[in-house]
Amino acid sequence: MRAAATGLLQALDDDQLRLAALPFADDAARRWIEYRPRPRPGACLADLDRDARKAAHRLLATALSPHAYAQAMAVVALEEVLDRREDWRRGRHSDDYWIAVFGDPARDEHWSWRFEGHHLSVTMTIAGERVTPGPLFLGANPARVTYAGRPVSRPLGPEEDLARALLDAMGSAGRAMAIVSDSAPADIRTATHPRAESRIGPLGVAGGRLGPTARALLDQLVALYLDRLPTELAAREAARVASGELHFAWEGPTGPERRHYYRVQGDDLLIEYDNTSDDGNHAHTVLRRPLSDFGDDVLGAHHGRAHRETL
Buried b (16+ CB within 10 A) or exposed e, 154-186: bbbeebbebbbebbebbeeebbebbbbeeebbe
Backbone phi and psi for residue 270, each to the nearest 5 degrees, phi listed first: -140, 120
Query: pLDDT tens digits for 130-158?
Result: 999 999 999 999 999 999 999 999 999 99
Other CB atoms within 10 Å distance of the CB of residue 2: 15
Helix (H, G, I), strand (E, B) or coil at 15: helix
CA dihedral 113, 229, 3, 45 (to 10 degrees): -50
Residue 310 has pLDDT above 50, yes or no: no
List phi, psi (to 5°) of 253: -65, 160
pTM of the model: 0.95
Please, are residues 301 and 281 in contact by the beta-carbon 8 Å criterion? no
What are the tens digits of pLDDT across the range 250-284? Answer: 999 999 889 999 999 999 999 999 999 988 999 99
| pLDDT of 307 | 40
Q: Are the CB atoms for 156 and 164 separated by under 8 Å?
A: no
Amino acid at 263: R
User: Which tens digits make up the pLDDT trace of 180-224?
Assistant: 999 999 999 999 999 999 999 999 999 999 999 999 999 999 999
Contact 253, 99 (CB under 8 A): no
Per DSSP, 208 falls in state: G
Asked whether the beta carbons of 111 and 104 are under 8 A apart, the reply is yes
Whole-angstrom CA distances from 43 to 12, 17, 111, 217, 295 are 9, 8, 17, 40, 22
Q: Are 185 and 274 in contact (CB under 8 A)?
A: yes
Query: Contact 80/94 with Cβ under 8 angstroms?
Result: yes
- For residue 135, give the amino acid letter: P
